[in-house]
Amino acid sequence: MGVVQTDQMVLNIGPQHPSTHGVLRLEVMTDGEIVSQIKPHLGYLHRCFEKHSENVTYEQVIPFTDRCDYLASMNSNFGYVVTMEELMEIKVSDRVEYIRVIMGELNRIASHLLALGVYGLDIGAFTPFLYMLRDRERILDMFEYTCGARLLYNYMWVGGVSHDLPKDFEKICIGFLDYFEPQIEEYNNLLTYNKIFIERTADVGVIPADVAISYGVSGPNLRGSGVNWDVRKDEPYSIYDRFEFDVPIGEGKFGTLGDCFDRYWVRMLEIKESVRILRQALKDLPSGDVHQALPKKIRPPKGSIYRRTESPRGDLGYYIISDGSPIPSRVKMRSPAFTALSCLDEVSKGWMISDVIAILGSLDIVLGEIDR
Amino acid sequence: MTVDFLIDWFSTIGNFPILAFILAVVISGIPLFLFMALNAMVAVYAERKVSAFMMDRIGPMGQGPGLHAGKWGLLQTVADAIKLLVKEDTIPQTSDKLLFKMAPFIIFIGAFLGLAAVPFNSSLQVVDFNVGVFYIIAVGSIGVIGIVMAGWSSNNKWSLYGAMRSAAQIISYEIPAGLSIIIPIMMAGTMNLQTMIQFQSGSIWGILPNWIIFNNPFTFLAFFIFFISAVAETNRTPFDIPEAESELVAGWMTEYSGFRWAVFFLSEYANMFVVSGLAVAGFLGGWQSPIPGMFDSAGWGLFWFMVKVIFLIFLMMWFRWTFPRLRVDQLMHVCWKVFIPIAMFNIFGVGIWKLIIG
């Protein structure tokens, strides 16, 4: 028998495909099941966020930030208002800061729950996805109770938040946390410690720390590679320096450091840390006003600023140039999911099609944020 | 209702052997087809409900016939069937149309023929082959031809991937399944399913039923290898890589719609029934009662057989809604490096056991 001659085949995964997490198109070169090259094609969800921002006032940018990372709108809002307040040198009241942290961390839990659930779906486990969505639903209910919206909140404004917390919010939130914490163990028993799940994710798609850093990967993906970098800890913004929490990093629990399992596991641990922050924030929540007297039209002083915050997907940076008018001269968003996607080609080479899906899922990309 | 019985009965009326044969086949084939459709309908409903309860949902519900989907959603599968039958039957422009149309029916034939040899009770069996086990294993492999045809003719890369994975998987897992089903054959000394089930009557030490699975440790192990391989042969999770939704969209079924797709579905559930039926007949005593010496009339036999088969089908559904999916190379690893050596060892062990203990 001679050597079997095989040929490369181009396979288009997406833009309509069950597990591209939105409208992403991957042009994959395959030889049988083995993948040799991946070209991601972006732009199917491009909505001109940055150009739009140059034509609306500073406050009107906030709803656009909602629509970028639609799974963690609170954190997108958070980043923008923190940047704006730093540019304008405003100090907001303590209650506002606490509310923002509470909302940001709740949204982080919601976003991670979706990421982990969908990751199970990518690997083929259907049930954990519904368990996690069930619990995410309760967080969305709390958001709805607070600000009326379930997905795109437009909640954090420059100098305050749109609505004060409802009177019994603390009770509801603590009730949720008490219910939710034991659920994490249930997810672990159902999905995380499943032998097949470990086989599929451990040692797969390893991103070494130096590769992750050179591609600018951030957030849980970077921490999965064992790099201890969390903007909340290392460049504290808002009031994150008042809370006690750990930064979970990957340790190669079942395989190599920086594999898909580590990224998954870091997210699972981060949920626990968010619960810790929430408990502290709810305990110390001060009373006060949530609106600050600001002129109708915000006119920041001339100048520019870059500020980064920790969104569930990583370093979410805003670069804002002000020319002194009520309309921003330039708003640039540094998207963590975009940089995470850029390393997909290097990481996925030589793996199988199933693994590419697993690696893509472990990067937890949101196409709204990548395309903006 | 065996075909032989019908042929004999027709020959008492007059001497038309060919006519009698055709009539007998049709008369026994139609109920079998109806059973297959009923099985799929019940199984689809069960799968919806089982998955719903496992996911903390309630599944299809309705207020009563005529509204929504019937009480407790009982009419859901009827609605599903009507939807599938009236749906547009699309055939891709670039497909190989003849193969594309043929493929569902070849898969269907594989499942349908297998059902013909399933022993529902001591007399209810369409054909009582003297090589029943061999027959079911053989016709079970017909389906893979249809799958490869469907995947190739669709002219779609997802279908092609699905078909190739499926072919590799089904052919590989037939080996451990075949090696494990040899063990009941060794124990009972026959390939005839009825004789094999009769061999399993009585009890072990008066407590356990004398089923082959309880006979010795090797048969116990063999049952699990057979059952897991059977799950793989029916392309169910965790071995559903040929139709892996998150990877291959719908695998080899991607381009199919409407009635042709319904035929795939019908065959999948019929296949589940056939492999579970074979596992029950080979290892779990077939239509024998679990309490030795009680409830063993023909009617109870049908009941016990169905209970056991439904339990195994429930297990398959349980797997599906609990486990993630294996990767294609891990699947082959499990088959060739784990199951086949153990199955071979089992044959050896059972041989020694029979030689020493009897």
DSSP letters, A36-73, are: EEEEEE--TT---HHHHHTTS-HHHHHHHHHHHSTTSH
Are A124 and B161 in contact (CB < 8 Å)? no
Which member of B54, B244, B328 has the closest CB to residue A124? B244
Cis peptide before B238 (omega within 30 of 0): yes
Token pair of A300, please?
């920041």
Q: How far is A91 from chain B (nearest CA, A)?
A: 46
Q: What is the DSSP letter of A23?
A: S
To 5 degrees, how large is the angle CA B78–CA B83–CA B85?
95
Q: How far is A198 from chain B (nearest CA, A)?
A: 10
**CA dist list (Å): A357 to A45, A222, A351, B174:** 20, 19, 10, 28
Name, in order, each residue with C-beta under 8 angstroms of A288's C-beta and a sequence gap of 6 or more: A93, A94, A95, A96
pLDDT of residue A1 exceeding 70, the answer is no
Q: Which pLDDT tens digit goes with each residue over A13-60?
A: 878 887 777 788 888 888 878 888 888 888 888 888 888 888 898 888
Q: Cα–Cα distance between B80 and B59 in angstroms, integer?
A: 14
Q: Which of B154, B161, B190, B216 is nearest to B286 (CA)?
A: B190
Q: How far is A103 from chain B (nearest CA, A)?
A: 27
Q: How far is A114 from chain B (nearest CA, A)?
A: 16
pLDDT of residue B121: 79
- Chain A residue closest in CA terms to B52: A127
Are B327 and A357 in contact (CB < 8 Å)? no
SS (H, E, C) B201-217: CCEECCCEECCHHHCCH
Q: How far is A157 from chain B (nearest CA, A)?
A: 38
Residues on chain A touching B245 (C-beta within 8 angstroms): 18, 124
pLDDT of residue B196: 85
Cβ neighbourhood burial of B85 (10 Å; 0-12, 13-18, 19+): exposed
Are A199 and B327 in contact (CB < 8 Å)? yes
Q: Quickly tell me which residue has 């699905």 as its tokens.
A: B162
Residues on chain B touching A33 (C-beta within 8 angstroms): 161, 328-329
Residues on chain A touching B57 (C-beta within 8 angstroms): 130
Grade residue A112 by pLDDT with cuts at 50, 70 and 90. very high
Which member of B54, B161, B238 has the closest CB to residue A124? B238
Name, in order, each residue with C-beta under 8 angstroms of B9's C-beta and a sequence gap of 6 or more: none
pLDDT of residue B1: 52
Q: Cα–Cα distance between B76 and B84 in angstroms, integer?
A: 12
Q: Which of B56, B247, B248 to mutate to test the interface with A (most CBs of A within 10 A)?
A: B247
Q: Cα–Cα distance between A361 and B204 in angstroms, integer?
A: 52
Are B238 and A194 in contact (CB < 8 Å)? no
Residues on chain A touching B231 (C-beta within 8 angstroms): none
Residues from B in contact with A at Cβ < 8 Å? 51, 54-57, 157, 161, 237-238, 240-241, 244-249, 320-330
Q: Cα–Cα distance between A257 and B176 in angstroms, integer?
A: 36
* Mean pLDDT, chain A, whole residue set: 87
Are B238 and A33 in contact (CB < 8 Å)? no
Grade residue A240 by pLDDT with cuts at 50, 70 and 90. confident
Q: How far is B157 from chain A (nearest CA, A)?
A: 7
Average of per-residue pLDDT across A254-283: 89
Which member of A11, A19, A130 has the closest CB to residue B55? A130
DSSP, collapsed to helix, strand or coil, labels residue A10 as strand
Are B324 and A196 in contact (CB < 8 Å)? yes
Which member of B249, B320, B324 has the closest CB to residue A120? B324
* A294 vs B160, more confident: B160
Cis peptide before A328 (omega within 30 of 0): no
Residues on chain B touching A197 (C-beta within 8 angstroms): 324
Q: Which residues pair with A30 in a beta bridge?
A: A9, A35
Element (H, E) at A318: strand A314-322
**CA dist list (Å): A216 to A101, A341, B161:** 25, 10, 34
Element (H, E) at A120: helix A94-123
Token pair of B101, please?
């149309």
Q: Cα–Cα distance between A41 and B157 in angstroms, integer?
A: 19
Q: Cα–Cα distance between B95 and A182 in angstroms, integer?
A: 52
To 5 degrees, how large is the angle CA B335–CA A120–CA A229?
120
- Chain A residue closest in CA terms to B51: A127
pLDDT of residue A140: 92
Which member of A18, A123, A191 has the closest CB to residue B325? A123
Q: Which of A34, A123, A362 to mutate to test the interface with B (most CBs of B within 10 A)?
A: A123
Are A354 and B321 in contact (CB < 8 Å)? no
- Chain A residue closest in CA terms to B54: A127
- Residues B314-352, buried b or exposed e (16+ Cβ, 10 A)? eebbebbbbbbbbbbebbeebbeeebbebbeebbebbee
pLDDT of residue B240: 79
pLDDT of residue B281: 87
Which member of B55, B326, B328 has the closest CB to residue A33? B328
Are A354 and B54 in contact (CB < 8 Å)? no
Q: Which of B130, B123, B109 is nearest to B2 (CA)?
A: B123
Q: Cα–Cα distance between B198 and B121 in angstroms, integer?
A: 11
Are B56 and A134 in contact (CB < 8 Å)? yes
What is the CA A186 to chain-centroid distance, rounded?
23
DSSP per-residue letters across B38-72:
HHHHHHHHHHHHHHHHHTT---S--SBTTBTTSGG
pLDDT of residue A277 exceeding 60, the answer is yes
Establish, for the pair of chains A and B, how many residue pairs have beta carbons separated by less than 8 Å: 78
pLDDT of residue B24: 75
User: Which of A74-83, A362-371, B64-73 is least confident?
Assistant: B64-73
Q: Where are the alpha helices (DSSP H) in A216-259?
A: 220-224, 231-234
Are A121 and B246 in contact (CB < 8 Å)? yes
Q: Where are the alpha helices (DSSP H) in chain B?
A: 3-13, 17-54, 76-86, 97-115, 132-140, 142-153, 157-188, 193-199, 217-233, 245-248, 258-283, 298-320, 328-333, 340-356
Half-sphere exposure of B146 (CA within 13 A, CB side): 23
Q: Cα–Cα distance between A155 and A63 in angstroms, integer?
A: 9
pLDDT of residue B66: 55
B16: left (phi over 0), alpha (psi -120 to 50) or beta: beta
The amino acid at residue B356 is I
Token pair of A251, please?
């340790």
Are B249 and A11 in contact (CB < 8 Å)? no
Token pair of B343, please?
């199955």
Q: How far is A121 from chain B (nearest CA, A)?
A: 7
Residues on chain B touching A120 (C-beta within 8 angstroms): 324
Are B323 and A190 in contact (CB < 8 Å)? no
Q: Cα–Cα distance between B76 and B54 in angstroms, integer?
A: 19
Q: What is the ipTM of this complex?
A: 0.80
Cβ neighbourhood burial of A283 (10 Å; 0-12, 13-18, 19+): exposed
pLDDT beneath 50: ranges in chain B: none
Are A125 and B322 in contact (CB < 8 Å)? yes
Are B247 and A353 in contact (CB < 8 Å)? yes
Name, in order, each residue with C-beta under 8 angstroms of B67's C-beta and a sequence gap of 6 or more: none
Residues on chain B touching A122 (C-beta within 8 angstroms): 246
Residues on chain B touching A198 (C-beta within 8 angstroms): none
First-residue to last-residue Cα distance in chain B: 35
Q: Note the residue count of chain A.
A: 372
Q: Cα–Cα distance between B101 and B194 in angstroms, integer?
A: 37
Which member of B55, B157, B330 has the closest CB to residue A199? B330
Q: Which residues pair with A303 in a beta bridge?
A: A322
Q: Which pLDDT tens digit goes with each residue over B171-185?
A: 888 888 888 888 888
pLDDT of residue B264: 85
